[in-house]
Copies of this chain bind each other. A is one copy, B any other.
C-alpha cells in the first residue's frame, strides 16, 4: 500500500479527492495550474508545490491526474521527463478512458498508467466547492489492458477501496467508454436536443409556462455549461454517434407505431424497459438491506457479501467477468483476495 498521493488539479473532483486522502491519513502533495486554492488546501493538510516537476520529484507512490481532459496531453508531456516510474504509478479520473490511455502511451508513460473514473461529482466546480464527502459510497471504474501490471493495478485499487473506503469495478477501456456513453454522454446530447426543440417551437413560451417536473428533470443537464457537455461528448464521439443513431431509430419506429395505431407494437415499446423497472425496485430493496446490515454489527443480512480469490495469471479476465456479474470490490483482504458486494442483475 502506498502512503503518499500526488494530485494534479485541485478542482471539485481533485480537491475533494486530495482532502479525502489527507483525512484518511495519506501524505498528499498537489499541484494546480494556479496557486489560488493553495492556502485553503494547506489548512486541509495538503502540501502544494510550485511546479509539476516538484510534484513528480516528491515521488508519490500514486499520482492522480484530476486536470480537465483537454489539458491531459500537455500535462502528460510535461510529466514524462520528470516522473520516476519505478517509484510512481500514474492514474487519472477522466470520464473517457480509451483516449487517456492513448495519450499516456504517446507520452511514453503507458507502462506505469492505470485508468480510473470515480462516479462522483455535482454541478459545482472549483476547490471552494470541494468536499471529501463527495466520495462517500462512490463507485470507481478502474480500466486496464493486457499490458497493465498487476502491482500497478493493486496500487490504485487498494488506495480506492482500503484507503478511501470506496468500491470499484474493473473494465477494459472500450467497455467503460461504451457504458459511459449509454448512461451519460448520449443522455446529455438528448437533453440538449430537447432544449433545442423547445427553443425552435412557435409555442415555446406557452410550453415553458406549462413545463413541470418531467421537463425540468429531463433537461437539467442541458443547463450546465454547454462547452463542458460538448467536450465530454466530443471525447467519446464514436460511441455517442452510434447511440444517437440507435435512439433515432427507436423514436422513428415508435412514431410509426403511433401513426399506424399498432397497439401491440406500442405495448411492446412500454414493456421493453420492464427489466430496468424491476432492477430499480430490487436495487432499492438491496440498498435498504445493505444499510441495515451496516448499521447492525453482526447483523444477519450477509447474503449479498462474498469473497473472491484472484488468479494472478488471468486477473484481468476474472475481474472483467466479476463486473459483468454485478460484483463490486469493497476491500482487499490480501493482495489476491477481495471482499465483494453482489448487486442485483438487470
Interface residues of A (CB under 8 A from B): 119, 121-122, 139, 141, 169, 171, 175-176, 178-180, 182-184, 186-201, 203-215, 217-223, 226-227, 229-230, 233-234, 237, 240-241, 243-252, 254-255, 258-259, 266-267, 269-277, 279-280, 323-326, 328, 343, 345-346
Partner pick for A233 among B208, B217, B258, CB 8 A cutoff: B258
In Å, the complex CA distance between A237 and B254 comes to: 11
| Residues in B neighbouring A272, C-beta threshold 8 A | 195-196, 199-200
**Given the contacts A193-B250, A199-B276, A346-B204, A255 and B266 also touching, CB distance less than 8 Å:** no
In Å, the complex CA distance between A258 and B193 comes to: 14
**Given the contacts A259-B241, A270-B229, A343-B209, A182 and B203 also touching, CB distance less than 8 Å:** yes
The closest CB in chain B to the CB of A275 belongs to B199
- In whole Å, how far is A97's beta carbon from the nearest beta carbon of chain B? 11
Query: Are A192's CB and B269's CB within 8 A?
Result: yes
- In whole Å, how far is A244's beta carbon from the nearest beta carbon of chain B? 4
Query: Are A210's CB and B139's CB within 8 A?
Result: yes
The closest CB in chain B to the CB of A184 belongs to B214
Given contact pairs A122-B213, A208-B346, A209-B328, enumerate 12 new A-B contacts (beta carbons under 8 Å).
A179-B207, A183-B215, A184-B212, A197-B250, A199-B273, A205-B326, A217-B217, A217-B220, A226-B277, A234-B266, A244-B252, A248-B248
| Residues in B neighbouring A230, C-beta threshold 8 A | 266-267, 270
Partner pick for A209 among B169, B206, B217, CB 8 A cutoff: B169
The closest CB in chain B to the CB of A188 belongs to B214
| 16 A-B residue pairings within 8 Å (CB atoms) | A169-B206, A169-B209, A175-B203, A182-B197, A183-B215, A187-B214, A197-B250, A198-B346, A199-B276, A204-B346, A208-B346, A218-B218, A230-B267, A244-B252, A244-B254, A248-B249
- In whole Å, how far is A134's beta carbon from the nearest beta carbon of chain B? 12
Q: How many copies does the complex hold?
A: 2
| Residues in B neighbouring A244, C-beta threshold 8 A | 251-252, 254-255, 258
**Given the contacts A187-B214, A214-B187, A274-B226, A182 and B201 also touching, CB distance less than 8 Å:** yes
Which 9 pairs of residues, A with B, have the shortest CB-CB distance?
A: A195-B273, A226-B270, A179-B207, A248-B248, A217-B217, A244-B255, A196-B272, A183-B211, A183-B215
In Å, the complex CA distance between A204 and B280 comes to: 13
In Å, the complex CA distance between A117 and B269 comes to: 27
Partner pick for A199 among B197, B209, B323, B346, CB 8 A cutoff: B346
Query: Are A252's CB and B245's CB within 8 A?
Result: yes
- In whole Å, how far is A168's beta carbon from the nearest beta carbon of chain B? 10
Query: Are B209's CB and A326's CB within 8 A?
Result: yes
In Å, the complex CA distance between A179 and B189 comes to: 22
- In whole Å, how far is A261's beta carbon from the nearest beta carbon of chain B? 8
**Given the contacts A212-B184, A223-B277, A206 and B323 also touching, CB distance less than 8 Å:** yes
Query: Are A208's CB and B246's CB within 8 A?
Result: no
| Residues in B neighbouring A193, C-beta threshold 8 A | 247, 250-251, 254, 269
